[in-house]
Structures are given as structure tokens and as C-alpha cells.
Structure 1
Amino acid sequence: MSEIGLRERKRQRMYQAVSDIAVRLFLEKGFDAVSVAEVAAAAEISKPTLFRYFPAKEDLVLHRIADHEREAARVVTQEGEGTSPLRALRRHFVDGLDRRDPVTGLNDHPQVLAFHTLLYGTPSLAARVYAYQERSEAALAEALGGDLAARLAAGQIIAVQRVLALDNWRRIADGERLADVAADAVAAAERAFGLLEKGLPWLAEETEPR
């Protein structure tokens, strides 16, 4: 492996390690009760070094979902020929439910539930999630063509996925059994994407293989 590749892997390991330490502290004490200096000390790095990796305190938490930012765009661009964008996105989301992917909200692991509570229960983090969703919309809109229709469609698709995931997480957080939520979650996803197909018929049409 090249020196550049090794350097990048080391950098990514550092990102992950510091983020994991920060999230653990935030879950133990609360986001606002933990200072950046405390995170840096626990990670055994200087505060300036921490800020080189994470410009804002909230980034320490958002790092865990950063790799999902362009996920919808990747699904649209990487699916095989002959598959409509909405069918590809529907299949990807339903497959995520089946895998109990935390991004779908359908996961009852205590650490996952605690992380989502931290994420959506902390005002400054919730605000950053909104910015993250805006970037997801922009990436998806570009993958769909980049015009006004694509931007409007991307906003609706990302909103549907967000609502579905939040509903799943809230029900489980309120004490409902995962198995009970799972059946409803699949039905809700199928219904939601069905509504999207009716409202966005141009994204439901199968493409012709080249």
C-alpha cells in the first residue's frame, strides 16, 4: 500500500477513535456538560489537534452518520440499468429495515437508541442534522439531473426517509417491541414510496438498458 494510502487510513482511524470517545462522554454526562478540552484530554491529543479533525463540537457526533450523507445519491447512480430511481431507493430502504440498519430507525440496541436520543434531543445537534439533510438533498438532486424538478423531488424523498426513520425510532424508544414495529415499518415504507411514485411519476419509470 502507498504511503498516501497508509496516511489516509491512519487519519480515518483517528477520526473514528476521537469520535467514539466523545460520543461515550456525551452519553455518560450530556452533550453540554462535556467540554472540547475534556474530549481532547480523554483522547490524549491537544485541543488544537482535535479542532483540526473536528472544526465544531457537534462534528464529533455527526461523524458517525457522515458516510450516509451521499447514500441516496449513490443508490440512484450505482443501481443497474433498467431500474427507476424510486424503485432503487425503495428497495434500498426496505433492505435497510431488514438489516436493522440504525439509519432506518429500526434498531433496538441500547447504544443505538441512546445515540439517537442524543442526536435528536440536543438542539445544536438537531440543527446540524438539518444541515446534513440539506447536503443529502443537494447530492440526490444532482444525481437526479440537477434542475428544479430534481431539487423538488430530492427534498420530498429525503423528507420521506427522515419521517419514516424518526417514526420507527420514536416507537421503539417509547417501549414498543422491535418485532411489532418492524411489520408496520415495512408497510409504511411501501406506502410512502408508493405515494412518491404517484407524485413523481417521472422517477418511477423504468429506464431502457443501453
Structure 2
Amino acid sequence: MVMSGEKAGGGNGSGSVAGAVGEGARGQESGQEEPAAPPRVSLRERKKQLTYRAISDAAIAMFLERGFDKVSVAEVAAAADISKPTLFRYFPAKEDLALHRFADHEDEAARVVGGREPGESPLDALRRHFLAGLDRRDPVTGLCDAPQVLAFHRLLYGTPSLVARLYAYQGRSEAALARALGGGVTARLAAGQVVAVLRILAEENWRRIDAGESADAVYAGAVQAAEEAFVQLRRGLEAEGRGTS
């Protein structure tokens, strides 16, 4: 993790939680123009991703039409013109068919930290990235009222097994962020708090939109809530860094 402008040595978790995300200058250079841009992939990998998406799209369409529990894996495989064993090679669990797109965001926070601007702290980079997502109505922020996104979110939050599986995705996101912060206990503590804040902000935005407000109407309040959340997050991390509980 980055502390006071220097790279931390080792992964034993020494140092403050505040140092993990709130203070240090950037410890590595990156040529990416967009911090969250994913790395380039091979043609073979792109084809694999297209197959993933095609199967997932077919499954989601069926889930939205009939309900997640009313559609069998065999029906999805038939609709995608593949066998069940082939489907399970791509998607280990039925829930993954619906949550495939979340996998694209598993390491997003880690990429934001790794590609932040020179002199920018990890926490400032994450704040900037989330606010930019609100501005462009990124569905991941919960601030999107496009009909297809609303339908998908209602499917997701209305299906307990999907919500449970989503927490597994968020756990992997937390682990990736902790690694980007240098590893160790303090980095894991910081990553856990950051991921929790981002999840709660997104859920609150979605709750308001699901209650009937438009994304434009929610936007100002979402920005204010995000700003306040990051202030509280910074204060909490700094307090832990001083050894307080």
C-alpha cells in the first residue's frame, strides 16, 4: 500500500488504514489515459467474452420474461444452442448467468487505484471515479432509470439467490482492491470499508429510483450523499490510523 509518497514494502499490513487509501502519493506510473480502462485482451479472449455475453443475454431475457426461478439451466442451454456441460464451463452457477456483467466490474476499484493520477491518493481517485459514474448515469452506481436497467435491478434485488451471489462478486472486488492497496490486514480493512460505502450508495440510489423518482431528480442528492460518505470514510480511516476504534 502507498504511504507518504513511497511504496510500502512487503504485505504484512503494517502502517495505518488511512495510509492505505487516504494519503500517499501515487507509487507507480501508468500509461492509461482512463484509470478504469481494462487491459487489452487477445482475439481469442474477445471471442470468449462475446460467447459469455451471448449466453448471458439469452438467459437474462428469459429470466425477465418468466422469472429467475421459473427458467431451468437446460432451457437456457437450449436457447443458446449449447449443451448443459458447455454452459457450466462458462457459468459455474445458474446465478452467474444473470450476474455475468458484474464480473466486468470486479477489479474496477483496483484499476482505478492502480491507474490514478500522479499525486492523487487512492481515496480521491475512487471518489472521482464514483462521481463521474453518477454523472454519466452508470448502472453500477444505481443512478440509472433506463427501462432495461430497472427491469434487471428488480430481477436482481427480488431474487434472494441472486443477491447472495452478488455478495460473492463484491467479495472478490474487495480482495482485488486490497491487493491494489498493497495487501495485508490494513489494506483489507480499508478495502472492505470502501466497497461497503460504494454498495450502500448504489443501493440507496436504486431504492429512490425504484420508488418512482427519475435519475435526474435523484442526481443532486446522490452527489451530496457520495461526498458526505467519502468525507466520513476518510475520517474513519484516519481515526483507525491513529489507533482509535
Both structures adopt the same fold (TM-score exceeding 0.5): yes
| Structure 1 stretches lacking a partner, 5+ long | 203-210
Match among 147, 161, 169 for residue 110 of structure 1: 147
Are the aligned partners of 2:137 and 2:215 in contact in 1 as well (CA < 8 Å)?
A: no
| 1:39 partner letter | V
* Root mean square deviation, CA, Å: 1.6
What CA distance in whole angstroms lies between the structure 2 residues aligned with 1:120 and 1:126? 6
Q: 2:177 matched to which residue of 1? A: 140
Q: Which has the higher contact order (CA 8 A, sep 6+)?
A: 2
Say whether 1:177 aligns with 2:227: no
TM superposition score normalised by structure 1: 0.91
Say whether 1:126 aligns with 2:163: yes
Say whether 1:168 aligns with 2:230: no
Match among 117, 124, 134 for residue 80 of structure 1: 117
Query: Which portions of structure 1, spanning 4 or more consecutive aligned residues, are displaced by more than 6 angstroms?
Result: none
What CA distance in whole angstroms lies between the structure 2 residues aligned with 1:8 and 1:67? 13
Provide Cα deviations, 1:102-153, integer angstroms capped at 9, x if missing partner: 0000000111011111112211111111111111111111111212111111
What CA distance in whole angstroms lies between the structure 2 residues aligned with 1:52 and 1:145? 32
Provide Cα deviations, 1:161-196, integer angstroms capped at 9, x if missing partner: 000000001110110122221110000000000111
| 1:51 partner letter | F
What CA distance in whole angstroms lies between the structure 2 residues aligned with 1:104 and 1:160? 11
Change (3 A) 1:74 1:29: same
What CA distance in whole angstroms lies between the structure 2 residues aligned with 1:158 and 1:6? 32
Say whether 1:100 aligns with 2:137: yes
- Please give the residue correspondences for 1:171-210 in structure 2 after superposition, counting only pairs within 5 Å: 171-201=208-238
Provide Cα deviations, 1:33-87, integer angstroms capped at 9, x if missing partner: 0000110111111111111111111111111111100111111111122001110
Larger proportion of helix: 1
Are the aligned partners of 2:68 and 2:155 in contact in 1 as well (CA < 8 Å)?
A: yes
| 1:21 partner letter | A
User: Structure 1 residue 89: deviation in Å?
Assistant: 0.4
- Larger mean CA deviation between 98-107 and 57-66 belongs to 57-66
What CA distance in whole angstroms lies between the structure 2 residues aligned with 1:125 and 1:134? 14
What CA distance in whole angstroms lies between the structure 1 residues aligned with 2:184 and 2:82? 45
| 1:107 partner letter | C
Say whether 1:21 aligns with 2:58: yes
Q: 2:90 matched to which residue of 1? A: 53
Q: 1:205 matched to which residue of 2? A: none
How many positions carry a matched residue from both structures? Answer: 200
| 1:61 partner letter | A
| 1:165 partner letter | A
| Structure 2 stretches lacking a partner, 5+ long | 1-40, 240-245
What CA distance in whole angstroms lies between the structure 1 residues aligned with 2:174 and 2:110? 9
What CA distance in whole angstroms lies between the structure 2 residues aligned with 1:171 and 1:8? 38
Q: 2:26 matched to which residue of 1? A: none
| 1:124 partner letter | S
| 2:199 partner letter | R
What CA distance in whole angstroms lies between the structure 2 residues aligned with 1:166 and 1:194? 19
Q: 2:67 matched to which residue of 1? A: 30
